């Protein structure tokens, strides 16, 4: 992509209405613009990150055997009356009357919709187990939306729903998502710790939140230090096999959100030098809730003995749009965002120091073409800004590597390669510089 | 994908509430389920088609120089008051009050949102031309939603918005989208004819609808027969060059929707044997409307002479979810859907005729692996249904090629290859059968 043809409205000054660093940086880097309170438009740079996160979530859901569907944003209130949640759900539900005065709503979650689809389509235990997920916009009418996309009203969520014949099978489904989530967040460069959590309005009796630690976190969390460096399950993990050992290893150490925290147990079970008490950001939440929806909604299948069995269910959320902010909270410095390669909007910025100079233009286009031929995602700064402003923008928007092409280097057959994370800058012969950049990016693309 | 692990709830009987063939077939093929009046959930098979259509639209928008953004579904009513459309827009707008009693709405289109973003971000003519597009769910509260996804209330639309300094530049932007649309629909196996059309509630003085001809079309259209086989611009068309010759060639022959139809001119300009009067389905609609939004909303940039210039704009829609139905209307037979390869949910169905038989299972898995190694998208029917039912399902869901693996063939080292479109079935040696299938699919993947 040529920057001159792109749409990247960066801001030199920090917007005064943004409270936390990710919100400030997303506005400054031209990633989002607020269109209404808690409602954002995603500009090209932000959308690219959102899509990369979405793709990782999708790949890991598929790997774990979940199948993708897409449910609508607008749901019928009657479905929520069937489950008994319509009146119980508070003011966060955006309630709407359509032109025929029928009650509809903007889905904050989709247990009712998916349970209906499943009930009307599946008759036999032979079609189980199933886990259906979707990545769709949701709406929660927060009383005071804030923190940018971290607590917006309209947000992108991955929500999966498992259907099983027995409690044991449902717990297996739960473990599959648990293990899948460990991989999902690690692939984005995040260390998310699963913590026992309250089930809240979703219901049920087993629940974990996946929390990343960050100073600006919204809630207090407590865990054993070893969990922060716990071993991430490999990509060839057999999701059709027994995942109990992995699940047990990750749940044997103390970890709890403040609602579930037991100070006495924490003190007793965790050695003092391993006690972590920190602020956390929730990026995923999984629930096993048995027959809470299937029972009132009549979702049953025929079991092996011919009897009707009420389905055992769970649901599994990931805050996809929230993750964009969460990754920035976890990875930034004074100059701006520091994207991990797997979610970077572009992997390399080629900075042309003298746009309009025929030789430099040619060299910069050549570097871009060489990198793209290696499958690298490149942004070419071909504008006539001054060098300092160009470097500042590329630092701000967090591109992992900058390859700097200037008239002096072109004459000498050299390029300068800057690594965003460390700030190191090296002048190298063209071939060596390209090779090193390509190798480093490919190495960092797959983190687990 | 193994069918046993997939979610494909096909219906043997035609649903009584579906009026047109695409709606019937989408329900029967397990592609969608209605969740509320005019609101559909997309099941895995339907979603795969939707995503393939979306990917083609995206590729062609990018090729034409448009840049992708993503605007929210919920918009502030105040924006629509600025443009003067809030009161003018009828009951099709889903009007909502949030918890603070503020007026919001579910966007039926996004001229106001994008104009605001542009106005607040772009200051100089140097940043022009720009075309920003998004592919996002829209809502129109149709009084009588019908025809499945063809006239649903919640639908997926690609909407692009161009910003230019002068009328001439805006007309160039219009031609870029015009040419891009010809390619977009042709790549899906559709022949869409651009027709002069009424501008309706969007406004402006230049507009074309892109119409595919189908007996079940919603409106009467009139055109010169040669347009139906007009030459599609090649993939290496220079979208930064002058597209006037292509535009003129396509607009020199008569083509009009019923609102714009001039019977006398039609009779005069089109020879009797070239007169086509048919039913059509609108799949795209483009508008040039000048300063209709930029003027009231104050969207201006500094021109080369330092003066403020009000932006010239156009907008360009494609009905992404509607296209799923439109393609089926244009391509089906008595047995079911006949997908063109570029939008087929799977390209090959490997039908295992004796699931559970060790040799046949092994052979079927081997065929699947060989096809997948060639990059083919494969569905393996590994269920224990009887052969007739398997063939009927694969015909119904319209997979372009079936590779049939049975115990007799396995012994003889043969497979049977069936082409969905022609119905031809050939028994071939394994290697020859695989090679032919792969070659034919690769040939049909890129239609223009």
pLDDT in tens, A266-286: 999 999 999 999 999 999 999
pLDDT in the model for residue A202 = 67
Q: What is the mean pLDDT of residues A427-432?
A: 98
Pairing of strands B348-352, B401-405: parallel
**pLDDT band at A182; cut points 50, 70, 90:** very high
pLDDT in the model for residue A274 = 97
Q: With an 8 Å Cβ cutoff, is B120 touching chain A?
A: yes
pLDDT in the model for residue B202 = 67
- From the list B317, B319, B199, the residue with the least C-alpha distance to B257 is B199
Gap from A411 CA to chain B (nearest CA, Å):
30
CB-nearest partner of A33 from B91, B92, B117: B117
Strands (E) in A198-338, as ranges, are 206-213, 219-224, 255-257, 275-290, 300-302, 308-310, 312-319, 332-333, 336-337
Choose between A299 and A214: higher pLDDT. A299
Q: With an 8 Å Cβ cutoff, is A99 touching chain B?
A: yes
Both B79 and B181 in one domain: the answer is yes
Gap from A333 CA to chain B (nearest CA, Å):
25
Mean of all residue pLDDT scores within chain A: 96
Chain B residues closer than 8 Å to A41 by CB: 69-72, 113, 117
Task: Quote the CA–CA distance of B331 and B320 in Å, as a whole number.
Answer: 17
Both A227 and A280 in one domain: the answer is yes
Q: With an 8 Å Cβ cutoff, is B101 touching chain A?
A: no
Both B359 and B291 in one domain: the answer is no
Q: Are A64 and A239 in contact (CB under 8 A)?
A: yes
Both B402 and B329 in one domain: the answer is no
Say if the Cβ atoms of B67 and A73 lie within 8 Å.
no
Q: Are A329 and A339 in contact (CB under 8 A)?
A: no
Chain A residues closer than 8 Å to B72 by CB: 35-36, 39-41, 137, 154
Q: What is the mean pLDDT of residues A166-192?
A: 97
pLDDT in the model for residue A200 = 72
Say if the Cβ atoms of A9 and B121 lie within 8 Å.
yes
Residue A93 CB partners (closer than 8 Å, separation 6+): A105, A106, A108, A140, A141
Say if the Cβ atoms of A76 and B36 lie within 8 Å.
yes
Give the residue ranges of DSSP H helices in B29-129.
44-63, 77-83, 111-121
- From the list B401, B396, B403, B426, the residue with the least C-alpha distance to B346 is B401
Both A121 and A88 in one domain: the answer is yes
Q: Are B139 and A74 in contact (CB under 8 A)?
A: yes
Task: Quote the CA–CA distance of A55 and A43 in Å, as a whole number.
Answer: 18
Both B136 and B162 in one domain: the answer is yes
Both A297 and A430 in one domain: the answer is no
For B68, how many CA atoms within 13 A lie in the half-sphere containing its CB? 20
B72 assigned to some structural domain: yes
Say if the Cβ atoms of A154 and B74 lie within 8 Å.
yes
Largest CA distance in chain A: 81
Q: With an 8 Å Cβ cutoff, is B154 touching chain A?
A: yes
Residues of chain B with confidence (pLDDT) below 70: 201-203
Total residues found in chain B within this entry: 448
Task: Quote the CA–CA distance of B98 and A12 in Å, as a whole number.
Answer: 34
* CATH code, domain carrying A386: 3.40.50.800
Select the residue from B70, B111, B114 to test the A interface by mutation, using most A Cβ atoms within 10 A: B70
Burial grade of A437 (CB within 10 A; 0-12, 13-18, 19 or more): buried
A248 assigned to some structural domain: yes
Q: With an 8 Å Cβ cutoff, is B125 touching chain A?
A: no
Tokens standing for B184? 């977009």
CB-nearest partner of A74 from B7, B30, B36: B36
Can you tell me which residue has the tokens 């069936």? B418
Q: With an 8 Å Cβ cutoff, is B358 touching chain A?
A: no
For chain B positions 41-80, those within 8 Å of chain A (CB to CB) are: 41-44, 47, 50, 65, 67-76, 79
Chain A residues closer than 8 Å to B67 by CB: 5-7, 44
Q: Are A362 and A416 in contact (CB under 8 A)?
A: no
Both B279 and B386 in one domain: the answer is no
Q: Of A286, A311, A336, at which residue does a domain stop?
A: A336
Say if the Cβ atoms of B69 and A44 lie within 8 Å.
yes
Other C-beta atoms within 10 Å of B121: how many? 17
Can you tell me which residue has the tokens 């979703």? A202
The torsion angles phi and psi of B387, rounded to 5 degrees, stand at -55, -45
- Please calculate the CA angle B374-B378-B382 and round it to the nearest 5 degrees: 130
Q: Are B73 and A154 in contact (CB under 8 A)?
A: yes
pLDDT in the model for residue B198 = 77
Q: With an 8 Å Cβ cutoff, is B123 touching chain A?
A: no
* CATH code, domain carrying A79: 3.30.930.10
Both A332 and A351 in one domain: the answer is no
Residue A47: domain span: 3-336
* Percentage with pLDDT > 90 across chain A: 93
A65 assigned to some structural domain: yes
Task: Quote the CA–CA distance of B237 and B240 in Å, as a whole number.
Answer: 9
- Please calculate the CA angle B230-B231-B232 and round it to the nearest 5 degrees: 115
CB-nearest partner of B39 from A65, A67, A74: A74
For A236, how many CA atoms within 13 A lie in the half-sphere containing its CB? 0
Both B304 and B425 in one domain: the answer is no
CB-nearest partner of A43 from B7, B69, B76: B69
pLDDT in the model for residue A15 = 84
- Of A79-83, A346-350, A440-444, B194-198, the poorest mean pLDDT is in B194-198
Say if the Cβ atoms of A44 and B130 lie within 8 Å.
no
Say if the Cβ atoms of A70 and B47 lie within 8 Å.
yes
Task: Quote the CA–CA distance of B264 and A185 in Å, as a whole number.
Answer: 66
SS3 at position A93: coil
Closest CA in chain B for residue A72: B41
Select the residue from B36, B48, B152 to test the A interface by mutation, using most A Cβ atoms within 10 A: B36
Say if the Cβ atoms of B67 and A6 lie within 8 Å.
yes
Tokens standing for B262? 């001039």
Task: Quote the CA–CA distance of A336 and A171 in Å, as a whole number.
Answer: 42
B341 assigned to some structural domain: no
ipTM, two decimals: 0.96
For chain B positions 6-25, those within 8 Å of chain A (CB to CB) are: 6-7, 9
Say if the Cβ atoms of B30 and A121 lie within 8 Å.
yes
CB-nearest partner of B70 from A47, A70, A130: A47
Closest CA in chain A for residue B114: A41
Largest CA distance in chain B: 81
Both A308 and A363 in one domain: the answer is no
A341 assigned to some structural domain: no
DSSP 8-state secondary structure symbol assigned to residue B183: H
Q: How many domains does chain A have?
A: 2
Q: What is the mean pLDDT of residues A187-200?
A: 90
Q: Of B311, B336, B361, at which residue does a domain stop?
A: B336
B1 assigned to some structural domain: no
Q: Which residues pair with A97 in a beta bridge?
A: A103
CB-nearest partner of B70 from A41, A67, A94: A41
CB-nearest partner of A41 from B39, B72, B92: B72
- Please calculate the CA angle A174-A157-A348 and round it to the nearest 5 degrees: 110
Q: With an 8 Å Cβ cutoff, is B122 touching chain A?
A: yes
Residue B363 CB partners (closer than 8 Å, separation 6+): B405, B409, B410
Tokens standing for A282? 């929730």
Say if the Cβ atoms of B35 and A76 lie within 8 Å.
yes
Q: Of A336, A366, A396, at which residue does a domain stop?
A: A336
Encode B192-203 in three state secondary structure: EEEEECCCHHHC
Q: Are B444 and B341 in contact (CB under 8 A)?
A: yes
Both A140 and A110 in one domain: the answer is yes
Task: Quote the CA–CA distance of B8 and B45 in Å, as a whole number.
Answer: 7
Chain B residues closer than 8 Å to A92 by CB: 99
Q: With an 8 Å Cβ cutoff, is A155 touching chain B?
A: no
Pairing of strands B32-36, A425-429: unpaired
Residue burial A152-168, b: 16+ Cβ < 10 Å; e: rest? bbbbbbbbbbbbbbeee
Select the residue from A69, A90, A377 to test the B interface by mutation, using most B Cβ atoms within 10 A: A69
Say if the Cβ atoms of A35 and B6 lie within 8 Å.
no
A181 assigned to some structural domain: yes
Task: Quote the CA–CA distance of B437 and B367 in Å, as a whole number.
Answer: 11
């Amino acid at each position: 992509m040529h920057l001159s043809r792109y749409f990247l409205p960066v801001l030199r000054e920090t917007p005064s209405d943004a409270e936390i660093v990710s919100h400030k940086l997303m506005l400054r880097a031209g990633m989002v613009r607020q269109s209404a309170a808690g409602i954002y438009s995603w500009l090209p740079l932000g959308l690219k990150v959102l899509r990369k996160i979405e793709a990782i979530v999708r790949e890991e859901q598929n790997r774990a055997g979940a199948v993708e569907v897409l449910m609508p944003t607008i749901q019928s209130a009657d479905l929520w009356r069937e489950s008994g949640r319509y009146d119980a759900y508070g003011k966060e539900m955006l309630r709407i009357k359509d032109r025929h005065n029928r009650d509809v709503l903007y889905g904050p979650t989709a247990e009712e919709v998916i349970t209906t689809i499943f009930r009307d389509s599946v008759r036999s235990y032979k079609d189980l187990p199933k886990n259906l997920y979707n990545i769709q916009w949701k709406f929660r009418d927060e009383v005071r939306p804030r923190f940018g996309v971290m607590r917006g009203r309209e947000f992108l969520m991955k929500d999966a729903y498992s259907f099983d014949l027995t409690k044991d099978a449902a717990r297996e489904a739960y473990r599959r998502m648990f293990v899948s989530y460990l991989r999902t967040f690690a692939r984005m460069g995040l260390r998310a710790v699963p913590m026992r959590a309250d089930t809240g309005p979703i219901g049920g009796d087993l629940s974990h939140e996946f929390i990343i630690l960050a100073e600006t976190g919204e809630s207090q969390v407590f865990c054993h230090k070893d969990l922060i460096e716990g071993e991430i399950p490999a990509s060839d993990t057999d999701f059709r096999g027994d995942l109990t050992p992995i699940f047990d290893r990750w749940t044997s150490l103390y970890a709890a959100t403040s609602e579930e925290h037991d100070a006495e147990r924490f003190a007793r079970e965790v050695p003092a030098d391993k006690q972590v008490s920190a602020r956390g950001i929730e990026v995923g939440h999984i629930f096993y809730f048995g027959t809470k929806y299937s029972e009132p909604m009549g979702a049953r299948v025929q079991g092996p003995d011919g009897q009707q069995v009420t389905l055992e269910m769970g649901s599994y959320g990931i805050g996809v749009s929230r993750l964009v902010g969460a990754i920035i909270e976890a990875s930034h410095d004074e100059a701006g965002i520091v994207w991990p390669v797997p979610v970077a909007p572009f992997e390399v910025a080629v900075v042309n120091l003298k746009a309009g100079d025929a030789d430099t233009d040619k060299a910069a286009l050549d570097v871009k073409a060489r990198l793209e031929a290696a499958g690298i995602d490149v942004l070419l700064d071909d504008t006539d800004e001054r060098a300092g402003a160009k470097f500042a923008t590329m630092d701000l928007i967090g591109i992992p590597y900058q390859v700097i092409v200037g008239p002096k280097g072109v004459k000498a057959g050299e390029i300068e390669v800057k690594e965003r994370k460390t700030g190191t800058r090296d002048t190298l012969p063209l071939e060596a510089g390209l090779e090193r950049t390509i190798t480093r990016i490919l190495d960092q693309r797959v983190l687990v």
